[in-house]
């Protein structure tokens, strides 16, 4: 490094390379990304948010919600659940096949009272295949469910990991880097009630007593109850409620933010993040 030019050249090459790798290449690879299709359906994913929720994302950004909340579920791997949907003509043979199969039998005796029933939970691909072969041979009908594993999934924060496609329409994308509060990727699934969301924004402790979230009171208006009470007024426990004769009404910002939170659902099975969705019909 004898001359300024050689330093310039070294810097240019080094930074230029990472610029090509981490700016140019992602723009080329992902910049033109389009909607994908939800597994085993013809539905598109993700959908554009409704206008109210799009405005809500801006409230989320402006208040720096991402300083404490992530929108990013992680998973460590996958596991399988085995469900016998019908025992066929020879239930005894099926029961025998189940009891002879390798995964821990205690689960079987506990859970299978009748068919259809979940017989094994959280087993590996090989175990699932072997067992389902035996049961099918005995004349039973078997379904294999794919589930995601990991602490985030076990906490109920999502049914699969978040993938690039989930953020397609977020402007700006608010991934977050600290979990001082819970992950919000699926808050719209966990708490689908608009009023719960609003109550939580106004007085977090009124719905989750050990919350450390600050109140977002400035998104609400405390006003005198006029001739007709506002239909939007919050119904709060006594210690959080407004004084007598007053009501707490969400400002448009609060409604938008709550509308945005309700759209946070990363729960569609995708090619890059497959799982078997729960169907209540069974």
CB of 78 or CB of 213, closer to other proteins: 213
Site for other proteins in 176-235 (CB under 8 A): 176-182, 204, 208, 210-218
Measure CA 62 to chain center.
23
Q: Which of residues 52-81 bind other proteins (CB under 8 A)?
A: 61-68, 70, 72, 74, 76
- Residues 82, 162, 254, 262: which binds other proteins (CB under 8 A)? 162
Distance of CA 25 to the CA centre of its chain: 28
Region of 1-9, 80-88, 92-100, 239-247 interacting with other proteins (CB under 8 A): 1-9
CB 147 within 8 A of CB 79: yes
Rounded alpha-carbon distances, angstroms, from residue 114 to 56, 92, 144: 48, 12, 18
- Binding window for other proteins (CB under 8 A); candidates: 36-44, 161-169, 193-201, 236-244: 161-169
Non-local (6+) Cβ contacts of 215 within 8 A are 201, 202, 203, 204
Looking only at residues 20 through 39 of this chain, which bind other proteins when binding is defined by CB under 8 A? 21-23, 26-27, 29-33
Rounded to a whole number of angstroms, the minimum distance from the CB of residue 193 to other proteins is 20
- Are the C-beta atoms of residues 251 and 221 closer than 8 Å to each other? yes
Q: Which C-beta is closer to other proteins: that of 140 or that of 158?
A: 158
Q: Looking up tokens 């719209």, which residue turns up?
A: 188
Tell me if the bond preceding 116 is cis, omega within 30° of 0.
yes
Stretch that binds other proteins, among 12-20, 108-116, 131-139, 186-194 (CB under 8 A): 12-20
With beta carbons less than 8 A apart as the criterion, state whether 256 and 53 touch.
yes
In the region spanning residues 165 to 184, those forming contacts with other proteins, defined by CB under 8 A, are 165-182
How far apart are CB 173 and other proteins at their closest, in Å? 5
**Cα–Cα distance measured from residue 70 to residue 177, given in angstroms and rounded to the nearest whole number:** 6
DSSP 265: -
Binding of other proteins by 108 (CB under 8 A): no
Nearer to other proteins, 66 or 87 (CB): 66
Size of the site for other proteins (CB under 8 A): 72
Q: How many residues does the chain have?
A: 282
d(CA 164, CA 32): 12
Q: How far is the CB of 234 from other proteins (least distance, A)?
A: 17
195 versus 212: smaller Cβ distance to other proteins: 212
């Amino acid at each position: 490094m004898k001359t300024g030019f050689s330093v310039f050249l070294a810097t240019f090459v080094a930074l230029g390379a990472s610029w090509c790798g981490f700016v140019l290449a992602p723009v080329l690879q992902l910049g033109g990304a389009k909607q994908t299709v939800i597994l085993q359906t013809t539905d598109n994913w993700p959908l554009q948010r409704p206008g109210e929720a799009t405005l809500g994302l801006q409230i989320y950004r402006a208040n720096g919600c991402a300083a404490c909340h992530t929108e990013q579920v992680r998973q460590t791997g996958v596991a399988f659940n085995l469900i016998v949907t019908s025992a066929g003509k020879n239930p005894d043979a099926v029961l025998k096949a189940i009891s002879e199969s390798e995964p821990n039998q205690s689960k079987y005796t506990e859970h299978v009272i009748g068919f259809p029933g979940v017989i094994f939970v959280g087993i590996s691909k090989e175990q699932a295949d072997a067992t389902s072969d035996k049961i099918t041979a005995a004349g039973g009908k078997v379904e294999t469910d794919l589930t995601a594993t990991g602490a985030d999934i076990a906490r109920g924060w999502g049914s699969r990991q978040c993938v690039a496609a989930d953020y397609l329409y977020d402007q700006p994308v608010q991934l977050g880097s600290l979990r001082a509060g819970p992950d919000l990727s699926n808050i719209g699934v966990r708490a689908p009630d608009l009023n719960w969301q609003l109550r939580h924004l106004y007085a977090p402790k009124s719905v989750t007593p050990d919350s450390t979230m600050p109140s977002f009171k400035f998104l609400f208006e405390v006003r005198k109850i006029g001739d007709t009470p506002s239909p939007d007024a919050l119904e709060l426990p006594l210690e959080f409620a407004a004084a007598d004769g007053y009501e707490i009404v969400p400002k448009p910002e609060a409604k938008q933010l709550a509308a945005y939170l309700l759209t946070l659902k990363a729960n569609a099975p995708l090619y890059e993040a497959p799982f078997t969705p729960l169907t209540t019909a069974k």
